[in-house]
Structure 1
Amino acid sequence: MPGPASPGWLLVALCAATGTYCLLRMRSHVEEQRRAAGGEALMGFGMAVMAVPTAALSPPSWAWPVYATVFGAAALRTLWALWATRSSAHHLHHLVGAGAMVYMAVAMTASPAPHPHAHGYGGSGLPLLTGALLLYFTGYVLLSGIRLVPVAGVGDGDGTRTGVGALGWSDRPELARACRLSMGIGMLAMLLTM
């Protein structure tokens, strides 16, 4: 990722931590959550590797086509799952995320190596697809943030939430939502450097 090194390393840490938690969520007893966690772990680690500042490590020329292939395969797998379930907003979001990763990898492949002090890739103006992805992920981040806000009046009346004690830490829906929010913020940061 081009740009200053400090924010890049923070993004690497955020995405790697999210990917690690998603790997741990794959131990869930709920099959659907295990499947979703696997895709999210791939996305988290892929974003972490892609976000490494170019000042620290300039990827070899073959890296971007490999990224495009891996996330293209993930997009096809998600498209298959979307078709099999006939409707799932979560599968659709995974499809958009994998597509965004393919788009960024292809953009990195097509762009010449930037000057160390350059801000982003490409020519003048904001490409239409980048703008559309920025709008999508901005909306996703805002909606995910709203979903994390606790709702007053939900619980047992004694300040505890119903059923939380029965869930293992890898099955907590609010932690999964927080991870998705983190990855959405990371995707926004990466798209802003395009």
Structure 2
Amino acid sequence: MHGPASPGWLLVALCAATGAYCLLRMRSSDETQRRAAGDEALMGFGMAVMAVPGSAFTPPAWVWPAYAVVFGGAALRALWVARSGTHHLHHLVGAAAMVYMAAVMTASPTAGHAHGESGVPLLTGGLLLYFAAYVLISGVRLLPVAGATGSTAAASAPAWGDRPELARACRLSMGIGMLAMLLTI
């Protein structure tokens, strides 16, 4: 991605940490939780690698088409699985955004926009709006609910890998990362 090195490395760290946590979530006893965590781990690590600043490493030309193939496959899988749950539609949009960013990088690995366009391309703008809304909604979902009691027994508390608020925070951080990456292309 294009942009200053320090924020780029922070984005790499955020996405890699999120991917690592999602790998740990794959140990959950809930099968749907494991599958979602696997999709999110792929996205987190893929975003981390894509966010490495260009000043630190210039990938070979074959990397971006390979990214498009990997995340194109992830998008097709998300489309197939979306038949059973709407959360997979978000995975579909995320994978499609990764394919789009890889295509932009393939077409123009050193410039910000493909084909020398001025302004923000329509697809980039649409993805920015989607992920901005996703981040805002995800952030609101993390706010504590008024009147909720925090006095649950330790025995009934879910394992740390199955905690829904941690999974939501993971998704929020990936949404923020996606926004940052889209702003740099």
What TM-score, normalized by structure 2, do the two folds share? 0.95
SS at match of 1:182: helix
Where do 5+ consecutive residues of structure 2 fail to align? none
Which aligned runs of 4 or more in structure 1 are off by greater than 2 angstroms? 120-123, 161-166
Matched to 1:70, the amino acid is V
Q: Within the alignment, does 1:121 sit opposite 2:113 as a pair?
A: yes
Percent of residue pairs bearing the same amino acid type = 74
Counterparts of 2:172 and 2:71 in 1: how far apart (Å)? 20
Match of 1:43 in 2: 43
Q: What RMSD in Å do the two structures reach over aligned CA positions?
A: 1.4
Matched to 2:105, the amino acid is M
Instruction: Confirm or deny: 8 A CA contact 1:154 1:161 kept in the other structure.
Output: no
Moved more, 104-113 or 21-30: 104-113
Counterparts of 2:127 and 2:110 in 1: how far apart (Å)? 23
Instruction: Confirm or deny: 8 A CA contact 1:18 1:182 kept in the other structure.
Output: yes
Where do 5+ consecutive residues of structure 1 fail to align? 115-119
Is the alpha carbon distance of 1:142 and 1:55 closer, same or farther for their aligned partners in structure 2, counting shifts above 3 Å?
Answer: same
Counterparts of 2:90 and 2:97 in 1: how far apart (Å)? 10
Alignment of 1:9-158 (within 5 A): 9-83=9-83, 85=84, 88-114=85-111, 120-122=112-114, 123=116, 124-155=118-149
Counterparts of 1:13 and 1:130 in 2: how far apart (Å)? 24
What TM-score, normalized by structure 1, do the two folds share? 0.91
Instruction: Confirm or deny: 8 A CA contact 1:19 1:43 kept in the other structure.
Output: yes
The size of the alignment, in residue pairs, is 183
